[in-house]
Structure 1
Amino acid sequence: MSLTDILRAEWETDLPPPAAAMVQALIDHGGGTVSSVLFYGSNLRSGDVEGVLDFYVLVDDLIRWRDSRPLALATSLLPPTVEYWELPWQGHTLRAKVAVMGADQFVHRTRFDRLDTTIWARFTQPVLLAFARDDAARQQALDAVAQAIASAARWAALLGPETGTARDYWEALFKATYSAELRVEKASRGVSLVDHAADRYTALLAPAWVAARIPFEDRPGDQHRPLLSRAERAQGLAAWGWRRRFGKALNIARLVKAAFTFTGGVDYLLWKLHRHSGVRLELTPFQRRHPILSAPGILLKLRRMGAIR
């Protein structure tokens, strides 16, 4: 079975009703500029309505999404732009973290040669196509996600052991990508990512290597060996060194950008605060309009409330 065949089969899975409700809200907001919507993350596995649903919205026109030229420019320079959404649904409040970027940007950033590792690494994980405007948009999303997985598998061959199981290669890959990003999780987080869908990752490796044009041979005991020369491995390690150095700087730049472009970010942080500490903080209209300027006073208040130490 080819890589795209595996993805097509995965995408036949029904969307959980809470996610479907949120997707409809996203489509209603974006209208005809929404090319496709991808659903991924921990709630894809759990179906939990209390957590945060994760979506990527791929659009044709960044300006039309929020009717903002500055925001569109920021997204075009450093995609994606993240938004926080809340939606009443069947007695619950659905919450979603929505990343928005151009459909063509998404295709470009799933390529193997990109310095930014975050997009292709994220979409190596399980994902559902929640919406596609038409057959062309569906094919574009399918090709891009397949390209993301092939890019990841090619890096896994270069960064992983000379011979190993499928799990060995994916764990090596995720360990490397976590080390290249500015994250609170430890690099060992990559092990748990594989654990969540171990059979899927095992099934993906060989088709992904075929798609990436990596020659390999199967060995006894579910072992695989990519047929790479020492020079190819050395070149791969050197190229990854650039990505590791670039990755953390890119993450910092995204955090700075998010301080000015994270639509609904204040509500997201307040919800996270309440969920983890039990403290419910009400902000004044001024604090909502100027969260960065108000940050010192807010932090002092939170400390007095015992929410932070």
Structure 2
Amino acid sequence: MDSLKSLIAAEALQPVDPRVSAFAAELARPFGDTARAVIFYGSCLREAQLDGLMLDFYVIVSDYTAAYRQAGKGGWMARANALIPPNVFPAAHANLAAKYAVLSEADLARACSMQARDVSVWARFAQPVRLVWSADDAARDAALDALCDAVVTLLRHAAPLTDTASADPLAAWRTGFTRTYGAELRAERGDRPDKVVDFAPGYYARVGETIMREHPDIAAMPRAEAENRWEALRRRGKRLTVARLAKASFTFAGGIDYLAWKINRHAGTQITIKPWQRKWPLVAAVFLVPRLLRSGAVK
């Protein structure tokens, strides 16, 4: 009988397009021996044709200060990453484009656990992902442990809110992903959580059955406590999304345009970036973020 870790490993260690593997190695390279793992995730994982798409990666490092020193970046980058993780950067390699987030091993473990302050990491890593690069066996095992924690964390939050009499064996997953989408600023259509589950129903069924066997208390949290946790996650998550967008305006090349695009996408506005805003992106963000707040996207 398969363990949860063996199921997660069988999924995460599947081969990917060689260009993705090469891209992952290139992302890890500047961080030298502080690079621990690279995780490929998101909607591009479900696409056969990657050209013209924006790939999504997480680069896991051992320590922010050492990692940014190794990469030749300013110390303020490490402080920003530690204060509001992760930092997000653009990248291009072999005619592919991506954005990658930098997270420490310690923050990865925390962000996939019940101690996470928001859903942003465990909501993504509770879905099928690919561990496309690792420094060594210990780094691979640490990443797999975090991926195991992510699926357990999602179901611990979702199972208490799911009707046990539901005819849908994947109901708890649907509940969980619906709630996570509501806990962030997301512009995707309302049926997106169902599509996430329906893309890999066999995977979610197998993982769910294994979690119930290994964690028989998965639905033990009282419903009222679960609702309170989701409300706290929703409040913190939306505000953290705004903070991360503001931070991306100066950590992400072209970040002020990225911020305007995000606001337009969420709020239906038509913001255009002026030359002075590109010159002083952090100052511009101070003016742009309140528009996102006033739009009602953050409640």
Residue identity matched to 2:87 = T
For residue 56 of structure 2, give the secondary structure of its aligned residue in structure 1.
strand
For residue 166 of structure 1, give the secondary structure of its aligned residue in structure 2.
coil
Structure 2 partner of 1:78: 84
Task: Tell me the percent identity.
Answer: 37
CA distance in 2, matches of 1:45, 1:269: 26
The answer on whether the counterparts of 2:248 and 2:259 sit within 8 Å (CA) in structure 1 is no
Residue 237 of structure 1 pairs with residue 227 of structure 2 = yes
- Give the alignment's Cα RMSD to 1 decimal: 2.7
Gaps (5+ residues) in structure 1?
Answer: 216-225, 273-280, 296-309
Structure 2 partner of 1:58: 60
* Aligned-pair CA distance for 1:268: 6.6
Structure 2 partner of 1:207: 210
* Aligned-pair CA distance for 1:162: 2.8
Match of 1:169 among 168, 172, 185: 172
The answer on whether the counterparts of 1:82 and 1:100 sit within 8 Å (CA) in structure 2 is yes
CA distance in 2, matches of 1:128, 1:236: 29
1:1-309 to 2 correspondences below 5 Å: 1-47=2-48, 48-63=50-65, 64-65=67-68, 66=71, 67-87=73-93, 89=94, 93-164=95-166, 165-214=168-217, 226=219, 228=220, 232-263=222-253, 265=255, 289-291=279-281
* Aligned-pair CA distance for 1:60: 1.2
Q: How many residues align?
A: 269
CA distance in 2, matches of 1:266, 1:17: 32
User: If you compute each CA radius of gyration, which structure gives the higher value, 1 or 2?
Assistant: 1
CA distance in 2, matches of 1:128, 1:244: 27
Q: Which moved more, 1:75-84 or 1:41-50?
A: 41-50
Evaluate the alpha carbon distance shift between residue 264 and residue 58 of structure 1 in structure 2; reply closer, same or farther with a 3 A threshold. Answer: farther
Per-residue displacement from partner, 1:38-62 (whole Å, max 9, x unpaired)? Answer: 0111221213222011100000132
Structure 2 partner of 1:222: none
* Aligned-pair CA distance for 1:19: 0.6
Gaps (5+ residues) in structure 2?
Answer: 263-271, 286-299
Structure 2 partner of 1:300: none
* Aligned-pair CA distance for 1:178: 0.9
